[in-house]
Structure 1
């Protein structure tokens, strides 16, 4: 197994601290103490705490964009593609839990800080990908006409707060929650609701494609 770089260890530890306690309570002293290094080493790699958070956001969003692109490419229709993206939104609560919680609880910091400019661009790219799937669905007649901008924001909003209530060790799995999100969103968008049953199968093609895409990106990034 390839050992993480010092910068990678710092980023991973910081991300976990933010997930557990929030950005304001995460500090260089705790990270340095846990990793057995000086605060100067953290500053050497990242400069400021804002820059460290920006790096965490950027790393997170690049993973999500790579997975979303695979999901879109591997599923044939806009209906399947949107269902896949919806599953992924919930699966992130399990497969990349700490980074997801850290990102979601501090996403508001992307709004205006200069250090977060690249994170804002990446998030816009992700939002653009989802909107392109929605637009394709409307154009093909699979989705009823809708306000694509509002629909995409409603989808993101519903997924954004899952970290506050979803319990990975609870009685309902991420796949089951994902299936319910698919049913909720596509139940309102799909012209032919009869097709939903196949999309909400937790062991079906869509869910399996999402899991494989997430795994493939993880492997590609660990090998790079």
Structure 2
């Protein structure tokens, strides 16, 4: 996702450095040298390195929330919505690779930094929406009885570690990886597994919807 102007260039460079090195090893001096500007210019725009991380995390979490809202508008059933969220977590590695890796690898920093309270709340909203769909599926008799909050944490925990192994240019397409996750997670919830094949499919009808919603919030 492109950001115009000098400020956007600084933030994109910071995001790439965090994705490649991690937050602690990202140095404002290195960013300034790479862009041919002074550290004072970076401080003028962002204040501190923590301020840059806050902008990264809040922006990423806000786009997640917006994408989920768009998908919810178009996909009414709880199993469709859960499959869409799973595919979205994978596809975003293709649409916004550095920002996705940078955000996912700094989950520990997200919990520790006082400045990231708003980002934590946005992330919590996304998790709450997913947990609500697990509970709704149970109430509708689509999913078996499980601890909805724990199941949601298990899902997000596995998806947020994708950055350590997933290669968007690798042999598996994002749709194939997403379908694999849907097969395991949704297959563990559904009471009637006979319908699972249509959702655990790289060519599932909901996949283009996910792409459209993610592109809409990334524009």
**TM-score scaled by structure 1?**
0.93
Give the Cα–Cα distance (whole angstroms) in 1 for the partners of residues 14 and 3 of structure 2: 18
TM-aligned CA deviation for residue 52 of structure 1: 1.0
Single out whichever of 34-43 and 95-104 deviates more from structure 2.
Answer: 34-43
Q: Is the 8 A contact 1:144 1:191 kept in 2?
A: yes
Give the 5 Å matches for 1:1-224: 4-219=4-219
Q: Is the 8 A contact 2:92 2:214 kept in 1?
A: no
Give the Cα–Cα distance (whole angstroms) in 2 for the partners of residues 21 and 3 of structure 1: 21
Give the Cα–Cα distance (whole angstroms) in 2 for the partners of residues 170 and 204 of structure 1: 21
Single out whichever of 197-206 and 160-169 deviates more from structure 2.
Answer: 197-206
The number of aligned residues is: 218
Runs of 5+ consecutive residues of structure 2 not aligned to the other structure: none
Q: Aligned pair in 2 of structure 1 residues 148, 34: CA closer, same or farther (>3 Å)?
A: same
Alignment deviations for residues 134-181 of structure 1 (CA, whole Å, 9 cap, x no partner) = 121111111111101100000001101111111222111111010010
Tell me the SS of whatever aligns to 1:111: helix
**TM-score scaled by structure 2?**
0.95
Give the Cα–Cα distance (whole angstroms) in 1 for the partners of residues 95 and 145 of structure 2: 34
Single out whichever of 174-183 and 20-29 deviates more from structure 2.
Answer: 20-29
- Superposition RMSD in Å: 1.4
Runs of 5+ consecutive residues of structure 1 not aligned to the other structure: 220-224
